[in-house]
Amino acid sequence: MGTTGPYDVTEAPDDGVERLDLGALRIPVMPDVEIRVQAGEDGTVQQVVLVHGDNAVQLGVFAAPRSEGIWEETRAEIKSSLFDDGVAAEEVPGEYGTELRARVRTPEGLSDLRFVGIDGPRWLVRAIYQGKVAVDPAVAAPLVDCLRNVIVDRGKEAMPVREALPLRLPREAVEHVQAQQEAAATTPVPPANGTAPGAPRPTPRPAPKRRPSPRPRRG
């Protein structure tokens, strides 16, 4: 596979690679990489994570101005945010320029993170690697190859700088999920916690939407 991406849609190669079309991101489908997508009932994607073994990379794509990239400023804010949480982040050279590397404490123990930013035409792709790949990219080369072959479709609409570009599941995937939900809704559920037969059950409500940011959430 090529090694020059992520590509803007206007410069994408005609390489015949199958990609999952999520709107602003088109992610290559690879046999050794699992694409995990968290989406709402309407198909709006909130999170995209690529997994290879015990390693993962979370992808985000954000609007940027025409005149300049925003990774340098965003990187400084991420570093400051981590410092406020008691985490020292180190700036290191990487394939796409300066990256951030940090070690954070999780419920499972210490975890290595690597923050990568790629400035494109009016967009920023942010990749957060987790696991051994955060220290040595060679241990999860398929994840690195996936990022290199991502295509970004910024769209022509004016958007505020740093606002997340819209991601959506393909229509057929949304229809499949909705069919599963409808089937589950018609399946009788035994009463629990003293609920009387025939009593109305609370209707699940989707979680309120949050505006994603190039800055990571604090743990």
Q: Is the pLDDT of residue 199 over 70?
A: no
The span from the CA of 105 to the CA of 91, in Å, is 19
Asked which of 48-57, 72-81, 209-218 is least confident by mean pLDDT, the reply is 209-218
The span from the CA of 112 to the CA of 102, in Å, is 6
Q: State pLDDT tens for residues 176-197.
A: 555 655 666 665 554 444 433 3
Higher pLDDT, 157 or 188: 157
Residue 144: helix, strand or coil by DSSP?
helix
Pick from 154, 58, 60, 172: nearest CA to 113: 58
Query: What is the DSSP track for 7-63?
Result: EEGGG-------EEE-BSEEEE--TT-EEEEEE-TTSBEEEEEEEETTEEEEEEEEE
The span from the CA of 215 to the CA of 135, in Å, is 21
Q: State if pTM tops 0.85.
A: no
The span from the CA of 3 to the CA of 92, in Å, is 20
Higher pLDDT, 201 or 61: 61
The span from the CA of 46 to the CA of 120, in Å, is 21
CB 143 within 8 A of CB 52: yes
Higher pLDDT, 205 or 35: 35
Q: Return the pLDDT at 41.
A: 84
Q: Return the pLDDT at 185.
A: 65
Domains present along the chain, CATH in parentheses: 7-152 (3.40.1000)
**CB-based contacts of 193, cutoff 8 Å, min separation 6:** none
Strands (E), the chain: 7-8, 19-21, 25-28, 34-39, 45-52, 55-63, 90-94, 97-106, 109-120, 123-130, 151-152
Asked which of 11-15, 25-29, 134-138, 181-185 is least confident by mean pLDDT, the reply is 181-185
Query: pLDDT band at 171, cuts 50/70/90?
Result: confident
Q: State pLDDT tens for residues 57-99.
A: 999 999 999 999 999 999 999 999 999 999 999 999 999 999 9
Q: State pLDDT tens for residues 127-144.
A: 999 999 999 999 999 999
Query: pLDDT band at 107, cuts 50/70/90?
Result: confident
Alpha helices for 89-170 (secondary structure H): 141-148
Q: Is the pLDDT of residue 3 over 70?
A: no
Higher pLDDT, 185 or 46: 46
